[in-house]
Chain A
Amino acid sequence: MTTQVKLARVLNLLALLALLGVLSGSLHLQFGQGEPPCPLCLVQRSGMIALAVGPLLNLFTGIKVRNYAFAILAACVGGAGSVRQILLHIATPGDPGYGPKVLGFHLYTWADITFLIAIIGIAILLMWPGQFAANDRGILGSPGVMRVLTITVAAWYSIYLIAMTIFIIPMCGIGMCPADPPETTYLPSNGAWLAIGGAGILSLLIGIISNSRMRRR
């Protein structure tokens, strides 16, 4: 395996961690501050989960152009949802926007910035052919810290995805979601951060245990 493949893996992992940070913020708002996701917010969340699929496939199955292409498509879909929401609130004079602001921007604006950065970042990564030269079969065959971190991040995403899916049921049932869902606080603010940290620790344990089991085989 070449140094370029190793570097590409690190970049994919860093991108996943950045995206995990954005999702953690939105889950904290949902569970700790009682700001449930609106239907368009769910479209953006779906886009973020899809955006993570590309780098995860790169790490699990090897760096491939099609995985990056999928991530660009995911960013376009998620970005369409966030642009739609931004325009809706711009089009209505005096509209304060939906939900609280974080560092001066609403979450849908941050989501749009995230999707734009992803598209630009992946386009730049695609100009680097060295990462595709080797016949990379993914990180699972390479024991070490990177494998632990990759499994940890993938497990963390899975926990978030399961939590999001479960909490869609009380909000939307199996049909369409309400336009402006009622505020429901599940945890105190610190409790939500603790739950997010707990999910991280649980994921790290999963990463360490999986890595040691694979080593034994």
Chain B
Amino acid sequence: MLWIFLLWIIVFVGIFWRQRWTLPLGLVGLIATVVFLKMNMDSTIPLNF
């Protein structure tokens, strides 16, 4: 999960510097979040919070 938040920090740097790559990188962050959600749903932890 750490690296997803590191990715958001880079996205915020892109917002401040008004970089063109900000939105595509943000989309990568969203996809990473969905992948993390899927991993959480597939884990064997009881009542996976």
Taking Cβ atoms with an 8 Å cutoff, the residues of A that contact B are 38-43, 46-47, 49-50, 53, 56-57, 60-61, 66-67, 70, 73-74, 77-78, 80-81, 84-85, 88, 92, 95, 98, 138, 140, 154, 157-158, 161-162, 164-165, 168-169, 172-174, 176-177, 179-180
Cβ A60 vs Cβ B15 within 8 A: yes
List 7 extra interface pairs beyond A162-B9, A165-B2, CB under 8 A: A40-B49, A46-B36, A53-B8, A57-B22, A60-B16, A84-B37, A88-B49
Residues of B1-27 whose CB lies within 8 A of A? 1-6, 8-9, 11-12, 15-16, 18, 22-23, 26-27
Residues of B within 8 A of A60 (CB): 15-16, 18
Q: What would be 20 A-B contacts, judged by CB atoms less than 8 Å apart?
A: A38-B49, A40-B49, A46-B1, A46-B5, A47-B33, A50-B26, A50-B29, A53-B15, A61-B15, A61-B18, A73-B27, A78-B33, A84-B37, A84-B41, A85-B49, A95-B47, A138-B18, A140-B18, A161-B5, A168-B2
Query: In the complex, which of the residues A46, A85, A154, A165 contacts B16, with contact meaning CB atoms closer than 8 Å?
Result: A154
Query: In the complex, which of the residues A80, A98, A165 contacts B34, with contact meaning CB atoms closer than 8 Å?
Result: A80
Q: How many residues of B contact A (CB 8 A)?
A: 32
Q: Which residue of A is nearest B48, CB measured?
A: A179
CB-CB under 8 A for A165 and B36, given A53-B26, A84-B41, A180-B49: no
Cβ B3 vs Cβ A174 within 8 A: yes
Please report whether the interface of chain A is mostly helix, strand, loop or mixed according to DSSP.
Answer: helix
